[in-house]
Amino acid sequence: MQLSLLLDMKPSQKQAAYLASLWNRLAGQHIALGCSCSMSGMSVTLEDFELDIADYLWAESERLGQKEVVSFLLFAGPIAKQVEPIRGILKRLEHEDDICADVTDWLLPRMTKTIESYAKLHGPSTDAPLFGGSTSWRKGYRA
């Protein structure tokens, strides 16, 4: 990203750019490595998490009466029909200047917590139990 563009961005746009970069790096690792995390014989990919996260954000915003957030999330259609909904949400948050502060203030903290938690668990660190192999499992689950 060009420095002049970064300087012109609002803090919420910078946070969205950071999250988009983190999410795309995680997706690239999973695709490049052919990785799917398995627990109890079930295979899960990043795309599965993406739909689940977007669906959670939508359901939670509806439950809490966040009408502006609901409208923002469903702008591209029903969550289940959106392709890469988290990437789409982050792209809009990063590039659109006229997004209501209520939307960014509600979405960005939740997305930050979720995506950073996912990165901690599945990221390239050897401390990530589902990525780092037996060493991480031993540290996290055995005395």
Rounded Cα gap, residues 127 and 80, in angstroms: 33
Domain boundaries, the chain: 46-111
Helix (H, G, I), strand (E, B), or coil: what is residue 39? Answer: strand
pLDDT of residue 32: 38
CA 39 from chain center: how many Å? 21
* Torsions phi, psi for 38 (to 5 deg): -120, 135
Judge whether 68 and 102 are in contact, CB under 8 Å.
yes
Best CA proximity match to 112, nearest among 44, 12, 45? 12
Judge whether 61 and 69 are in contact, CB under 8 Å.
yes
Residue ranges for the chain with pLDDT beneath 70: 1-7, 28-45, 123-143
Judge whether 78 and 71 are in contact, CB under 8 Å.
no
Position 124: which residue type? P
Q: Write the CA distances from 92 to 36, 37, 124, integer angstroms.
A: 28, 29, 27
pLDDT of residue 121: 78
pLDDT of residue 71: 97
